[in-house]
Structure 1
Amino acid sequence: MGEQAETALYLVLGAAFLHAFWNALIKGSTDSTLVLGLISLAHAIVGAVMIFLFLPPMVESWPFIAASTFIHFFYYIFLLRSYRFGDLSHVYPISRGIAPVLVTLGAQIFAGETLPVIGWVGIGLVSLGVVMPSLKSGLGSVHPNALISALATGVFIASYTVIDGMGVRASSSPLGYIGWLFFLEIIVAGFVFHRRRFQLRLRSRTIWSVGLVGGLASAGAYGLAIYAKSIAPLGAVSAVRESSVVIAALIGIIWFQERPWKIRIISAVIVASGILVLSKVI
């Protein structure tokens, strides 16, 4: 593995840990909508700093920034719906499990990016390992609203992943691209705070702290992932990022006391095998 490929792998694994962490914060909060608004506010603050520090992206990348911002709005809506009706260990595997295959197909169609057969094998292993806990328990046991919302979330994840992968490559300034993408989440924060304007003073400091910490973790997670997309294949980055499901499963078992646990261990081994395979093509 070359130095650049090794860097991309470590970036995405770091993003996976942070992503699982902030999803667990949303699931465990008493007001998920407000926490999501605070996460978006933290994104906007980080983005404002990055805009000040780094060169702006090229004009060719702005349509991608606009499209990604629009899709992220619906991603957040369906993410909240899926956690409202389903467990972290059910919803997270479904939404994250279908994304790598969709991203790889999207990258091939829209970005002209192809993977060798071994790359598809790695992506297949990761996707299988990610969705396995939900398949084992039976999709029939998942609330219909949670299942539909999780599947929709996965489609939106794949959409913005491909869009941002193409956009960051056209930007000539990956950090500037990330900065503007984060800053525009002020729109999501404004929408949530407007909806919650009569309850804001009633919420505890803990909620605010959780939201802002989650926002910093989320910004770190997606920032690392976007940067990795500028130096590695989109499908492979997406698949390796889904190692976050292993972390989320452990959080679900330990923090939320979700069961069963054995299938999650098997799932983790399969995901790790897929990541090992993908490390050969990143």
Structure 2
Amino acid sequence: METGVFLMVIAAAALHAGWNALLKIGLDRFLTASLIQIGAGIVALFALPFVALPEVAAWPWIILSALLHIGYNLFLSRAYQHGDLGQVYPISRGSSPLLVAALSVLLLGEVLPAGQWLGLGVLVGGIWLMALRGGTGKTGSDLLINALLTALFIAAYTLADASGARANGDPLSYSAWLFAVNGLVMALVILGQRGPRVVSMLGPYWRAGLLGGAMSMLAYSIAIWAMTQAPVALVSALRETSVVFALLIGRLLLKESLPPLRALACLIIVAGVALMKLA
């Protein structure tokens, strides 16, 4: 992976952690995720006049990705019913790069050198280590099943978007239309699920939704662009360094504690990133 692409993906990971830290706004997880995606969709609408229509070959991937995001939000919210952020986030986000790596070999024919596989394994191990010290410490089957299903949907929409952006030949156009469609789909889903009253529930948080949506759109648009420049498995793994940035934000800005085991996990993740870059 070229250094410029590498640094852009790391920046995207920092943005991802930033909007997650920003939106501690008191809504349930499904509503918060929906608010972010609707906000990103609104931001994307302003970008549409400046980008081309996607190629015909890209539209099935855009629609598939929007549907997969519904499953992602559903199982993520279910996972949070059985565990907290410190457990669910590392398990779901830490498992998806391995799934992406395995599926990209089968579906996209991408092959990684042994050193990059080693780095990916070290990085994922560091993320999973964080889950051992997460919140209540409960690791029941319901938590694991829903967190792993969340990881499966992350892997699925990641591969769908990599394929769509490559088929389109213009990652910026693909990203803008993806977020616009995804925002519309999530708005319809949340209205169907919660009814018209959901508008008044989300209304007070529209500024946070737009800001978080803009950050989310920028972060994932960078990742989509990077997946047209480098192997999908590497981009997917580097995106998950967002857990390190989330811990740093919590420690430096929110004055949260950083237990020694989690500090060790951060160092392991950084070692994994170094191995992937140097391999």
**TM-score (normalizing by structure 1):** 0.88
Q: For residue 278 of structure 2, what is the aligned residue in structure 1? A: 280
Unaligned runs of 5+ in 2: none
Alpha-carbon distance in 2 for matches of 1:102, 1:25: 28
**Higher deviation after alignment, 252-261 or 272-281:** 252-261
Matched, 1:142 2:139: yes
Matched, 1:249 2:275: no
**Higher deviation after alignment, 66-75 or 245-254:** 245-254
Shift of 1:262: 1.1
Matched, 1:229 2:227: yes
Q: For residue 49 of structure 2, what is the aligned residue in structure 1? A: 52
Matched, 1:176 2:173: yes
**Amino acid of the structure 2 residue aligned with 1:262:** P
Matched, 1:131 2:110: no
Alpha-carbon distance in 1 for matches of 2:23, 2:77: 8
Q: How many residues align?
A: 277
Partner deviation per Cα, 1:36-70 (whole Å, 9 max, x = no partner): 23212222123223322112222222221121111
Shift of 1:25: 4.5
Matched, 1:99 2:96: yes
Q: For residue 158 of structure 2, what is the aligned residue in structure 1? A: 161
Change (3 A) 1:274 1:202: closer
Q: For residue 197 of structure 1, what is the aligned residue in structure 2? A: 196
Tell me if the contact between 1:54 and 1:176 (Cα under 8 Å) persists in the aligned partners.
Answer: yes
SS in structure 2 of the partner of residue 114 of structure 1: coil
Matched, 1:219 2:217: yes
Alpha-carbon distance in 2 for matches of 1:140, 1:89: 9
Shift of 1:257: 7.8
Shift of 1:247: 2.0
**Amino acid of the structure 2 residue aligned with 1:29:** G
Identical-pair percentage:
38
Shift of 1:142: 2.9
Unaligned runs of 5+ in 1: none
**TM-score (normalizing by structure 2):** 0.89
**Amino acid of the structure 2 residue aligned with 1:90:** Q
Change (3 A) 1:167 1:199: closer
Change (3 A) 1:143 1:17: farther
Partner deviation per Cα, 1:193-226 (whole Å, 9 max, x = no partner): 4415225335673x33322222122111211111
Shift of 1:129: 0.7
Alpha-carbon distance in 2 for matches of 1:214, 1:81: 22
Match 1:116 to one of 113, 117, 122: 113
Alpha-carbon distance in 1 for matches of 2:70, 2:201: 26
**Amino acid of the structure 2 residue aligned with 1:263:** L
Alpha-carbon distance in 2 for matches of 1:107, 1:255: 37
Change (3 A) 1:202 1:15: closer
Change (3 A) 1:267 1:212: same
Alpha-carbon distance in 1 for matches of 2:269, 2:21: 20
Tell me if the contact between 1:129 and 1:268 (Cα under 8 Å) persists in the aligned partners.
Answer: yes
Change (3 A) 1:259 1:78: farther
Change (3 A) 1:85 1:226: same
Alpha-carbon distance in 1 for matches of 2:90, 2:100: 16
Tell me if the contact between 1:246 and 1:264 (Cα under 8 Å) persists in the aligned partners.
Answer: no
Shift of 1:10: 1.6
Shift of 1:22: 2.9
RMSD over aligned Cα atoms: 2.5
**Amino acid of the structure 2 residue aligned with 1:220:** L
Matched, 1:90 2:100: no
Change (3 A) 1:139 1:85: closer
